[in-house]
Amino acid sequence: MKRKLLYAVLMALLSSLWLRAAELRPTPGPAGPYRVSANRILDRVGRSYLIRGTELAAVTLDPVKPGDLGALSASALVTIRQRLNMNAVRLPFGAVEFQENAAYASRVAEIVRTANRLDLLVVLAPFPADEPSSFWTGLGRSFRDNPNVFFSAVSQSAVSQSAVTAIRAAGAQQPIVASAQSFPIDDENVIYQTDASYATARTESDLADRVPVLAVGLDPHLSEHSAECAAFPSDPAAATSMLQATLEYFDAHGISWMVSAFRPGQLITDTRTFTGTKLDNGWTCGEPPGAVGIGLAVLAHLWHSDPHGLFTVNGDAGNFYLARGGRATAYGPIMADRAMGLRPGQAPPTVLGNVSVRITDARGIARLAPLLYTGGGWAWLNFVVPDDVAAGPAEIAIVRTDGSLAHGRSIIADVAPGLRSASFDGRGPALGLVSQRMPDGSVRTFEASRCAGYDCGTVPLPLSSSVVTTVRLVGSGFRHADSKLDFQLTVGDVAVPVLSFGPLLGEPGTDQVTVRLTDDLIGYGETDLVMKVRGALSDVVRIYCGAAR
């Protein structure tokens, strides 16, 4: 009898763990072509799709500042997808520049391609939107074959109908976002956009009962003496609650949303670390709020997490998928008494200072993880996910020697690839060893990146058709791939062949994948390198394919 009771309690606990962890999953990525049916947006297999996204910085041809990755970089886009768990971006670009400057139009197309490759749908948002029909037809023609873009024809004036007609005239059938004030528009594939506001009562559901609705905005405009700022509670917790309640309202009513903008001072503090802004430091309406913003609160909503809780992420890719045998990083209330690392040659212990990491897997089995480093206080901790944990939802707990603990959720996967950057933050120059076999048979090796302190840069790789160049990239989370066929690696737009992969000896939790840089990359310049393993996306790092042209 007792055993049955114990079993029932155990199963209830496991079910509860499973259900809670089941919430922790990526928003569905783009799977167009899309169509509108009643008040829903349906993907190519008829699944309902809700936009969860943010606006990007407007497209420019300005060079990226040194030490910056740029607001429109692939690293920014993969951060939006993997870290913020969004599935769409709104891309503002100048309509005039797009028509008159081929380089500009090419840049827009490149950003769209990159975003799509990184599992983001793109809402094309030319400004001003009251361009003549010929512009919209031209834009429609440029993107009509891309199933993972929507068009935004939102304008203050009533041009939406003519813009929609013009886009359709080009043969483009993707959904078009139009102003709710234009409702109804004579087209089957229209999404109606409303401006979300804190200062007014929520009414979006009235329209959302009939047609798909996209709510935009939701930045509290803290630097302005505005009704929006005034309506935003001055207490950070109350403000976070209000934001979350608004997002939950959208979730409950099947309303798509795009909040704020992925720009410094809005969702992020800068375009190097892409750190999410938070509300904790407080603000006064009308005064520059510094790095205060809703970034962390939005992230917490999308991951069903407490903004002040423990987050455990892939040690290289930075998302919530941890690989068996891979590196992971927990951050938040670690509360170690002090920072501690390993001594040279020391095997990773399961207790470091006053903390341990306990992983309870989907089977309910708890294991202590080997630890690599812990910071002191509210900090981060690096550990290795034991190889024998079960794939599926898991609870990660920081257990301290005084008996207290902090815990959060993650998903354990067989494969969750991450590429290591030279700066160890999952972005910027790749960490890798280049090997070149020269025509005379000699072999030359060197690092793919170099650092001076925290300032890291790529090393130009002198590619040539007479030289065989391979790069052994460092990362984690892909040792359990079945074969090289599981890998898709692209450098820029070029797919590169995988020669080998597996654990990197002597480096706990670290893997290597060796690729050959093909002749297509000669003179390609510094570009993005990204990997998919069994369809799972890595972070984006940079590599410099230089030389001979």
Positions touching other proteins (CB under 8 A) are 235-237, 280-283, 305-306, 308-310, 333, 335, 337-339, 375-379, 401-409
Report the nearest approach of other proteins to the CB of residue 280 (Å): 5
CA distance 130 to 347: 64
User: Minimum distance between the CB of residue 424 and other proteins, rounded to whole angstroms?
Assistant: 16
DSSP 264: B
Nearer to other proteins, 217 or 264 (CB): 264
Cis peptide before 28 (omega within 30 of 0): no
Cβ-based nearer residue to other proteins, 255 or 297? 297
Determine contact, residues 478/417, Cβ cutoff 8 Å: yes
Beta-strand pair 48-49/40-42:
antiparallel
Q: How far is the CB of 88 from other proteins (least distance, A)?
A: 26
Give 242 or 379: the residue with its C-beta nearer to other proteins: 379
Nearer of residues 35 and 407 to other proteins, judged by Cβ? 407
Nearer to other proteins, 60 or 223 (CB): 223
Least distance in angstroms from the C-beta of 49 to other proteins: 27
- Distance of CA 57 to CAs 48, 264, 320, 474, Å? 28, 9, 26, 31
- Shortest gap between Cβ of 284 and other proteins (angstroms)? 9
Q: Which is nearer to other proteins, 183 or 380 (CB)?
A: 380
Closest CA to 256 of 218, 294, 220, 295: 218
Q: How far is CA 127 from CA 90, 155, 433, in A?
A: 12, 9, 45
Nearer to other proteins, 410 or 470 (CB): 410
Report the alpha-carbon distance of residue 393 to residue 409 in Å, rounded. 7
- Long-range CB contacts for residues 181-185, cutoff 8 Å, separation at least 24: 182/158, 183/207, 183/211, 184/211, 185/160, 185/161
Residues in the chain: 549
Quick one: tokens of 410? 């993650």
Q: In the complex with other proteins, which residue's Cβ is closer, 141 or 308?
A: 308
CB of 80 to other proteins, least distance (A): 23
- Which of 36/339 has CB closer to other proteins? 339
Contact between 274 and 248 under an 8 Å Cβ cutoff? The reply is: no
Min dist CB 364 to other proteins, Å, is 17
Q: How far is the CB of 232 from other proteins (least distance, A)?
A: 14
Sheet of strand 48-49: strand arrangement: 35-37, 40-42, 48-49
Q: Which is nearer to other proteins, 236 or 364 (CB)?
A: 236
Inter-CA distances, 346 with 328, 341, 368, 369, 371, Å: 19, 10, 17, 15, 11
Specify burial of residue 406 (Cβ count, 10 A radius: 0-12, 13-18, 19+): middle
DSSP string, 479-540: TT-SSGGGEEEEETTEEE-EEEEEE-TTSTT-EEEEEEE-GGGTT-EEEEEEEEETTEEEEE
Q: In the complex, what is the shortest distance from the CB of residue 21 to other proteins, in angstroms, rounded to a whole number?
A: 11
Cβ 311 to other proteins, closest distance in Å? 10
Q: Which is nearer to other proteins, 409 or 479 (CB)?
A: 409
CB 224, min distance to other proteins, A: 19
Contact 297, 266 (CB under 8 A): no
Which helix (H) or strand (E) covers residue 75, if one does?
Answer: helix 74-78
